[in-house]
């Protein structure tokens, strides 16, 4: 495969990338991880390059892994917080800031730096499903430098890369690995679908036997589900949906329980924009918490995963997330390595 196919590309969803390209990204991530572990400087890869980071929502892992990553590659990550400096994006999204259009902001930043990364979901777009992704696509249209999706309302592709890199490290293969992405209870209904959607895309693309488990009312995007079925058919693996938490966990190698919002939370045509209805669905499913009894249903070698932050005592008990099967901090660290890999490949 020509490595030049990476240079200059946007990274908005794994659906835009082939399995072969994702395998190359994971290989590069492991190479950079090895160099980092040995203390080998690799700041010659993106010397004096700038990444502009626009956060419409807060972040611990994403912000710090991109900043640290750019420093390690020899460049600089510049933090932009539109909610502090300007008003957030409004429904309609024709403005990036209160005084400037997306087309102007994107073209200005593209004259000064080497990539733009954006996080936007939920309240800044009033939960209109797909609008945050469209905002990022609009930036990508106008900026002639790579656009990196740091999590929108549909996808969190860097989290998914870190997830599958962690699976690769722990099991050495994706074939025969039962990957269970499950909903779990949280007191907050304000949780985007991006992580579960990107996780099942990545797991099924790489060849895991992928199971999506959730109570009724938590259904994900049909287009994402169709893509997972297509990847499973291409890989000779499986993709299943279950409404039974315990049944889904039986024999699992990867247990990944996490909250995402219920369908009524979204305005029409997806849902009804009814927070109370979403809350009622959540509250009827408080027993979807990952405990040691649930982990005992899984394969004895099973790992517990979570993108973090986790809602402890709601999504998961402390003995599981702090226990020997938990790999959540390896998973968080892998954000750094996969993001460095993508930036190295697309920002050269």
Closest contact distance (angstroms) between CB of 335 and ligand CP is 7
In terms of CB distance, is 60 or 112 closer to ligand CP? 60
Q: Cα–chain-centroid distance for residue 108?
A: 27
Contact in structure between 339 and 165 (CB atoms under 8 Å)? no
In terms of CB distance, is 59 or 243 closer to ligand CP? 59
In terms of CB distance, is 149 or 237 closer to ligand CP? 149
Closest contact distance (angstroms) between CB of 63 and ligand CP is 6
In degrees and rounded to multiples of 5, residue 312 shows phi and psi of -60, 145
Contact in structure between 125 and 163 (CB atoms under 8 Å)? no
Closest contact distance (angstroms) between CB of 44 and ligand CP is 28
Closest contact distance (angstroms) between CB of 205 and ligand CP is 20
In terms of CB distance, is 61 or 133 closer to ligand CP? 61
In terms of CB distance, is 270 or 308 closer to ligand CP? 308
Closest contact distance (angstroms) between CB of 111 and ligand CP is 28
What would you report as the CA-atom Rg of the chain, rounded to the nearest whole angstrom?
19
Cα–Cα dist 284/244, whole Å: 14
Closest contact distance (angstroms) between CB of 179 and ligand CP is 18
In terms of CB distance, is 14 or 95 closer to ligand CP? 14
In terms of CB distance, is 163 or 209 closer to ligand CP? 163
Closest contact distance (angstroms) between CB of 48 and ligand CP is 26
In terms of CB distance, is 237 or 334 closer to ligand CP? 334
Residues that bind ligand CP (CB under 6 A): 59-62, 151, 159, 307-308
Closest contact distance (angstroms) between CB of 159 and ligand CP is 5
């Amino acid at each position: 495969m020509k490595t030049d196919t990476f240079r200059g590309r946007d990274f908005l969803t794994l659906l835009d990338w082939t399995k072969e390209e994702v395998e190359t990204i994971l290989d590069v991530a492991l190479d950079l991880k090895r160099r980092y572990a040995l203390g080998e400087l690799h700041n010659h890869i993106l010397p004096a390059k700038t990444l502009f980071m626009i956060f419409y929502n807060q972040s611990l892992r994403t912000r710090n892994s991109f900043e640290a990553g750019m420093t390690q590659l020899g460049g600089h990550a510049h933090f932009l917080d539109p909610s502090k400096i300007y008003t957030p994006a409004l429904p309609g999204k024709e403005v990036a800031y209160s005084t400037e259009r997306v087309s102007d902001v994107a073209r200005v930043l593209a004259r000064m730096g080497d990539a733009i990364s954006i996080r936007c979901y939920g309240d800044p777009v009033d939960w209109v499903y797909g609008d945050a992704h469209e905002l990022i696509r609009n930036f990508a249209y106008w900026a002639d430098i790579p656009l990196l999706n740091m999590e929108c309302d549909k996808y969190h592709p860097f989290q998914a890369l870190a997830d599958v890199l962690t699976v690769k490290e722990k099991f050495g293969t994706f074939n025969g690995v039962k990957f269970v992405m499950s909903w779990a209870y949280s007191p907050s209904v304000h949780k985007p679908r991006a992580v579960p959607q990107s996780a099942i895309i990545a797991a099924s693309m790489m060849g895991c036997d992928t199971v999506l488990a959730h109570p009724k009312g938590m259904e994900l995007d049909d287009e994402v589900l169709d893509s997972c079925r297509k990847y499973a058919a291409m890989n000779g693996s499986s993709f299943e949906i279950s409404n039974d938490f315990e049944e889904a966990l039986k024999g699992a190698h990867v247990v990944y329980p996490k909250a995402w919002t219920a369908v009524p939370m979204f305005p029409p045509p997806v849902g009804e924009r009814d927070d109370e209805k979403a809350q009622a669905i959540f509250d009827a499913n408080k027993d979807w918490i990952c405990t040691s009894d649930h982990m005992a249903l899984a394969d004895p070698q099973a790992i517990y995963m979570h993108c973090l932050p986790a809602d402890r005592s709601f999504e998961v008990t402390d003995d599981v997330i702090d226990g020997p099967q938990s790999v959540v901090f390896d998973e968080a660290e892998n954000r750094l390595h996969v993001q460095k890999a993508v930036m190295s490949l697309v920002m050269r």
